[in-house]
Structures are given as structure tokens and as C-alpha cells.
Amino acid sequence: MIKKTENRKIKLVGITGRMGSGKSLFSSFLKKKGIPVYYSDRRGKILMNQIILIKKNIIKYFGKDSYKRNKINRFYLSEIVFQNPIALKLLCSIVHPWVSLDFKQWMFSVSIQKKIMYVVKESALLFESGSYQECDFVITITSSKKNMIERIIKRDNLNENQITYRLKNQISDKKREKKSNIIIKNYLSTHHLQKEAEKTHKMLKKLIT
């Protein structure tokens, strides 16, 4: 049972899940309800291309192949960090401080808007980065391995073996669930996930008001 949090103007809801779980889609349904959503992973990729200091440090530790035509080489970097937890922590330590600052600037920009009860921070690395500690509520989206693999194959240029290996090196659903307030099981249709988002939105409104 979720308890009401202390009185604060705007609550922060963290949404996370393993790759292909459907967390971005779930967040998009809340966005359609008028809830501001900060997509941490997308912003992180943008910042890796924009911030010179990030570029320098990534090239320093991961090599010149980390960038192609002055843009982050996602495939090359992913092959390294998803095979080595230490490498993933190093990459997070380079990028996360900038994402954190970018999020604070975004949070300030949305805080001046009226009638916003809560905002969403969507992040695959919500627990790895420690960002979950800033959240009033944490939602974990789970799905079956089969469904996640099918979604990722459609979305990314990866084969099943590559996807399976990366999923193994991400925090398990069990560990995520222990630190989460709400668990959403995305095993059925997109329509079902949308209904879950609507139910969650109503629940959060009741808890916050």
C-alpha cells in the first residue's frame, strides 16, 4: 500500500524498466494526459553529442571509435558497457552529472506552469544512477523476455543473442520491484498498457491531492 508523501508543490514520479519493457510508451500515455515527461535516456544521448567535456572524457576512456562523424557511436559504446559493469558505471559517472543538471533546468521550466501535480522522469538507469532516491514514487514496467526481444528487434539493429546478453547485464525486474511503489506488467496489448497508464494517473492524482 502506497502512503501519501509529504506536502510538496510538484511530485516527481520515476519510471524505469529493462530495455524493451515499454517504459517510454507508458510515459507517452501519461504525457498525453498533460503530464510533463523528461526522457533521461534521450537527453543523455543528445548531451553526449553536445557537451564537449563529455565527448573528451568518453574518447579518453573508451577510445576514438566512440564517435563517428562527431556523433556518438551508440553500437560501439553499447557493446563495451553492456559487457562490463565497471565500464557502465564509468560511463554513468561521465554523463549523469550533466543529465542531472539538465533535468534540474527542465524541472525549473515546468515548475512555473500552473496545475501540474506531478512530473515524470523516465530512465532505464534510474537505480544505477541513484536518481530513484529523488523520486516521490517509482514505477517499474516489466514484460516477458519474448516480448522485450520482439520489440527491440523491431526498434534496433540487434540480433536476439545481442539483446539477450544485454538484458542479462541489466538490473533484474526483481531488484527493481523491491525499490518500486508501483509495478506495471506489460504482457498484453498496447491498449492494455494505455489502460494501465490511465489507472496509474488516477491513482497518483488521488495520492497527491
* Phi, psi at 68, each rounded to 5°: -130, 125
Pick the CATH number of 11-208 from 3.40.50.300, 3.40.50.970, 3.90.45.10, 3.40.50.80: 3.40.50.300
Strands (E), 146-195: 182-185
Can you tell me the distance from the alpha carbon of 205 to that of 201, in angstroms, rounded to the nearest whole number? Answer: 6
By the 10 Å C-beta count (0-12 exposed, 13-18 middle, 19+ buried), 183 is classed as middle
C-alpha cell at 13: 514520479
Count of beta carbons in the 10 Å neighbourhood of residue 110: 14
Q: pLDDT value at position 178?
A: 92
User: Where along the chain do its domains lie?
Assistant: 11-208
The CA angle 118-121-123, to the nearest 5 degrees, is 160
Q: How far is CA 118 from CA 10, 18, 136, 176, in A?
A: 5, 23, 9, 21
- Closest listed residue to residue 101, CA positions, set 27, 38, 174, 171: 38
**pLDDT beneath 70: ranges in the chain:** 1-8, 114
Q: pLDDT value at position 132?
A: 93
User: For residues 170, 175, 181 and 183, what is the CA-based torsion angle, rounded to 10 degrees?
Assistant: 70
The CA angle 124-125-129, to the nearest 5 degrees, is 160
Q: pLDDT value at position 2?
A: 46
Strands (E), 86-188: 118-122, 137-142, 182-185
Q: pLDDT value at position 44?
A: 94
**Residue 184 CA neighbour count, 13 Å, CB half:** 31
2 three-state secondary structure: coil
- What pTM value is reported for the model? 0.88
Q: pLDDT value at position 158?
A: 84
